[in-house]
């Protein structure tokens, strides 16, 4: 008898989990697999699911910038050199922050997409929704240009691609920041190399002074 009861209890456990699963999905589907950690000037601050590669991107960007300011600028450099160096570094870090922390264009029901229910009439001739695809995972209609990202587990408006280095998707709302960061990835190392050639530090005392 004891064995029979234990068999029944182990069979009931999955049923309980199946009933609670839709509620959990419903609460987290606004941002999918991403995290909204706050807002700044009314804009959500969103971090993507690829945290490890995101940390690598921050390291590859910020560490060279700090090292350049510490060791790459000569102590006797003119004010223009320091101003230009600091400006390039600040613009690079700002581009990184905007590209990695901004909302890529996550479609959220009731905020920037229209319906959460599949329309049984969808597909009929003359139906305006024919051009829109229905996402069964997010339970919403995708505007043209949108696509569901399996990594982020949400639909992205103006989907461009999923970028692990940005930690999330690149879409309609962070595409310009992504291009800004790409431009700085080219400009900043070029500036570092050129300025290092023409402004060789006379000694290492400036590094000690900065630190
Ligand atoms: Zn979706
Ligand atoms: Zn994605």
Question: Any idea which ligand is nearest the CA of 33?
Answer: 2
Show pLDDT as tens, one digit a residue, over the chain (211 residues).
444 444 334 344 443 343 443 443 444 458 888 988 888 888 899 998 999 999 999 999 999 999 998 888 777 778 888 899 999 999 999 999 999 999 999 998 877 776 666 665 555 545 555 567 888 888 888 888 899 999 999 999 999 999 999 999 999 999 999 999 999 999 999 999 888 887 765 554 454 444 4
Choose the catalytic residue: 138, 163, 169, 176: 163
DSSP structure string for the chain:
-HHHHHHHHHHHHHHHHHHHHHHHHHHHTTTTTSEEEEEETTEEEEE-S-HHHHHHHHHHHHHHHHHIIIIIS-TT--HHHHHHHHHHHHHHHHHHHHHHHB---B--BTTTB--SS--TTTTSTT-GGGGSEEETTTTEEEPTT-EEETTTTEEETT--EEETTTTEEE-TTTHHHHHHHHHHHHHHHHHHHHHHHH---S-SHHHHHH-
Distance in Å, CA 153 to ligand 1 centroid: 7
């Amino acid at each position: 008898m004891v064995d029979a009861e234990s068999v029944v209890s182990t069979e009931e456990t999955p049923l309980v989990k199946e009933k609670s699963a839709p509620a959990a999905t419903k609460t987290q589907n606004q941002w999918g697999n991403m995290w909204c950690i706050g807002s700044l000037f009314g804009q959500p601050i969103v971090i993507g699911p690829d945290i490890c590669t995101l940390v690598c991107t921050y390291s590859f960007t910020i560490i060279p910038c700090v090292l350049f300011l510490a060791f790459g600028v000569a102590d006797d450099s003119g004010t223009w050199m320091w101003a230009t160096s600091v400006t390039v570094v600040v613009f690079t870090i700002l581009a990184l922050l905007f590209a990695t922390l901004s909302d890529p264009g996550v479609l959220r029901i009731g905020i920037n997409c229209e319906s959460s229910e599949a329309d049984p009439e969808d597909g009929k001739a003359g139906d305006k929704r024919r051009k829109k695809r229905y996402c069964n995972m997010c339970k919403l209609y995708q505007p043209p240009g949108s696509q569901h990202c399996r990594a982020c587990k949400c639909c992205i408006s103006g989907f461009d691609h999923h970028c692990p280095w940005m930690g999330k998707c690149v879409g309609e709302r962070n595409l310009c920041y992504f291009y800004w960061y790409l431009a700085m990835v080219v400009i900043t190392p070029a500036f570092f190399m050129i300025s290092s050639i023409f402004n060789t530090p006379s000694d290492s005392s400036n590094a000690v002074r900065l630190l």
